[in-house]
Amino acid sequence: MKTTASSCRDACGPGDDAGARPAAPSTFHRRPLPAQLVDFSAPRGRVLLTEALAAGTAEAFFPLVAHLHTQAEPAWCGLGTLVTVLNALQIDPGRAWKGPWRFFGEELLICCKALEVAAAEGLTLAEVGCLAACNGAAVAARFADAETPASFRAALIDSTRAAAGPFLVANYDRAALAQTGAGHFSPLAAWHEASDHALVLDVARFKYPPHWVPVDMLFTAMTTDDDASGRSRGWLSLTRAARPSWPAEAEALAARLAELGAPVCAPPP
């Protein structure tokens, strides 16, 4: 498939100006959802969710939507998705977010790739998986060019039937869904059997609302190549790991050393 960049590309760049008037606006308020996708809050979108809930294939919806996070930067779709999923998995980050509260925000995802580099370049599927593993998740990565629509659908069904994980993170090319932009990450929250649609909880909520996508179309969007990694896109299956995140382990060790009277170096911010 055509190679496209790894970044979310949700800034006001050339890709977002395609088809605009000669005097293109410098700012944007949302984007219209393509006709082949179904707005989560539209009448049909509500019917799809109601039927998926009744069928037991929207169990992932409530924990994910309760923690749905809008990405803080245009290229931070991978980070915003991880904040959503790690908090939905009830993982303790082991260090404070604000005040006394331990809760994931993008600024706590500090391993694998510097935040300023991620802000400029975005993240690959492997890098998002690395960040998830560093922060207390067990990760299974699947590259779409080595999978089939049937294997993706099976993983989606397993995920959407589980309220405590595994949760699926999709990495796909927006252009293949007739959206503006390029590479993107978002969690998947439900599957509607009769229409074979998946519910994408888009973390770029400033741009698109949560929406239903035909499963075959979403799979095709994941088979596109990421020029940053030289591989196809795909999906991650995330569960809560048996052991805590490495920052939590570091803080626990520091506390124990302090109890023993040993000198302790301050952990990184």
Q: Which residues are catalytic?
A: 77, 184, 202
Buried b (16+ CB within 10 A) or exposed e, 74-90: bbbbbbbbbbbbbbbbe
Query: DSSP secondary structure string, 47-87?
Result: HHHHHHHHHT--TTHHHHHHT----SSTT-HHHHHHHHHHH
- Listed in sequence order, the DSSP H helices in 89-226 are 115-121, 125-134, 149-160, 215-222
Q: Can you say whether residue 259 is alpha, beta or left, with left for phi > 0 and alpha for psi between -120 and 50 degrees?
A: alpha
Tokens standing for residue 257: 């050393």
CA dist 144 and 146 (Å) reads 5
End-to-end CA distance of the chain: 41
* Helix, coil or strand: residue 88: helix
CA dist 116 and 92 (Å) reads 24
CA dist 13 and 194 (Å) reads 38
Residue 251 belongs to what H/E stretch?
helix 246-259
User: How many CB atoms neighbour CB 2 within 10 A?
Assistant: 9
CA dist 80 and 230 (Å) reads 23
